[in-house]
Amino acid sequence: MADAAAATDFPAPVYSETVLDPNFEQAKKHFFGFLLRIHDAHTRMLARQGIITPEEERRLIATLGGLEKASIASSGRGAREDLFYVVEAALEQACGRELAGKMHTARSRNDIAVTLFRMLARERLLEVFEAAGQLRAALLRLAGEHADTVMPAHTHMQPAQPTTLAHYLLAACEFLDRDAERMKGAFSRVNLSPMGAAAITTSGFPVDREYTARLLGFEGLAENSYGAIAAIDYLTEIAAAIAVAMVNVGKLNQDFLLWSTREFGFLRLSDGFAQGSSIMPQKRNPVALEHTRILASRALGQAQAVLGCAHNTPFGDINDSEDPLQPVALAMFGSARGALRLLAGAIAAAEVDRDHLARRAASDFLTATELADTLVRREGWCFREAHDVVAEAVRACGSDDRPEAVAAALLRIKPAVRLSRAEIVEALDPRHFVGIRKVVGGPAPECTREAVRRAAETQRRQEAWLAQKRQLVKGVRGESRSAFASHPEP
């Protein structure tokens, strides 16, 4: 009965325990600095528009600068609903209710709350972008060292044709570049300011939304005030971009994990990324790649959870898209960043067994396609005839995959062939196979070296973009002493 009676007053104990208290702790951890920045920018805009006086602006900015994050962080929520009201109460205590109340002119918790999470999400997205760049840089460095390292390429998990390690790694660099472009697109849409939308229909006061946006480091407005509050695609787009990136990274990581097995032996992680066994002295487990796999899978699942939670919710101001969803999104950012950084570190310190790769590229008849192509070029056959004859020669060799054995079998099957035994053996050399494939995007060393050069230029542009956006989101702070200068963002 006591619990039932208590539930008649807001908030009910169970509501506090399950919703308000976790949300308050999350807000203290992530949003205090951003909230002061919003208060600061909004106050400056109100004064610039003549809605408050310059003296009121000065006193409010000074009061903001005097707020102690440590004191608020250590305080409880008390009877107040959330961090916004806790900070508002601290402002009222410091400068009086009337003056503190003027700061709330022409705004709502609605536009503040969405702005807060956009500010946090854009910074977390930049962190994931940076981690993707670190992985891409590690792969590019490795590609630059291995333009001449031949290796077997696989299709359907079976040895298929020779390529080079640089060619393989450049393919990964390309999808990482596409991932980066998707993140850049998402950033351009998350970095739009909802401030001035107020509850959902703006305000009758002559606010300058563009000025507030500029102070907060936004690149434009989430213009329609209804959509600024109600739309969630700024976050679902980020989740989609991260989901695609994690699928890409997972496929790459799975290959590296396979290559690190004793059976493959292509790749050896450094001691810093491998663990032994408590019972088997010989074991050397590539655990960093296993952790990368689960981190990427977890990020993918969290991204899907963001999309699932937003699906089939009303197009309006609802809690489903706000505080309860934010921990899932923040976990997604953390998992994705961890997967990318861990894989980058592991690959940067890994060793490649060039000789073993070369031996495997020269085995299993992987160059048979080039022998068929050579017959087309030199004998004038159609490709289907050449394919059939080479396939017959391969079958005749059984398990003997030496080029000399294939040459002998071919000359027995087609004694009228004009190719000499030496020319057939050359056609079956994996380095010849790779070197002759000079088509754009192919594995010939001169092609991959040029591709590495262009990719390095792209890498520099991506890094410059990141530096520029990080400077941008700091906002404009030079007009007077900033109230939030002593309260850096999380």
Q: Tell me: the pLDDT tens digits for 41-70? A: 999 999 999 999 999 999 999 999 988 776
Q: What is the pLDDT of residue 1?
A: 44
pLDDT band at 74 (very low <50, low <70, confident <90, very high): low
Q: What is the pLDDT of residue 322?
A: 87
Which tens digit of pLDDT belongs to each residue from 181-238?
999 999 999 999 999 999 999 999 999 999 999 999 999 999 999 999 999 999 999 9
Say which of 270, 277, 480, 486 is annotated catalytic: 277
Which tens digit of pLDDT belongs to each residue from 387-425?
999 999 999 999 999 999 999 999 999 999 999 999 999
Q: What is the pLDDT of residue 73?
A: 66
Is 291 annotated as catalytic? no
State the pTM of this model: 0.93
**Element containing residue 35 per DSSP (H, E):** helix 32-48
pLDDT band at 8 (very low <50, low <70, confident <90, very high): confident
Q: Per-residue pLDDT for 342 more than 90? A: yes
Q: Per-residue pLDDT for 254 more than 50? A: yes
Rounded to 10 degrees, the C-alpha dihedral 39/43/45/48 comes to -160
| DSSP letter assigned to residue 152 | E
For domain 110-352+458-473, which architecture applies?
A: Up-down Bundle (1.20)
Q: Per-residue pLDDT for 484 more than 60? A: no
CA distances from 326 to 12, 31, 74, 381 (A): 23, 12, 22, 64
Average pLDDT on 428-435 reads 97
H-assigned helices in 311-444: 326-348, 354-361, 368-379, 383-397, 403-413, 421-427, 430-435
Say which of 71, 74, 156, 399 is annotated catalytic: 156
Q: Are strands 351-352 and 267-268 parallel, antiparallel or unpaired?
A: antiparallel
Q: What is the pLDDT of residue 205?
A: 98
pLDDT band at 105 (very low <50, low <70, confident <90, very high): very high
Q: Per-residue pLDDT for 483 more than 90? A: no
Average pLDDT on 132-161 reads 97
Q: What is the pLDDT of residue 22?
A: 87
Is 432 annotated as catalytic? no
Least confident interval from 89-93, 252-256, 364-368, 421-425 = 89-93
Per-chain mean pLDDT for the chain: 93
Q: What is the pLDDT of residue 323?
A: 87
- Beta-bridged to residue 164, according to DSSP, are 150
Q: What is the pLDDT of residue 486?
A: 44
Q: In the chain, where are the structural domains located?
A: 2-30+52-104, 110-352+458-473, 368-428
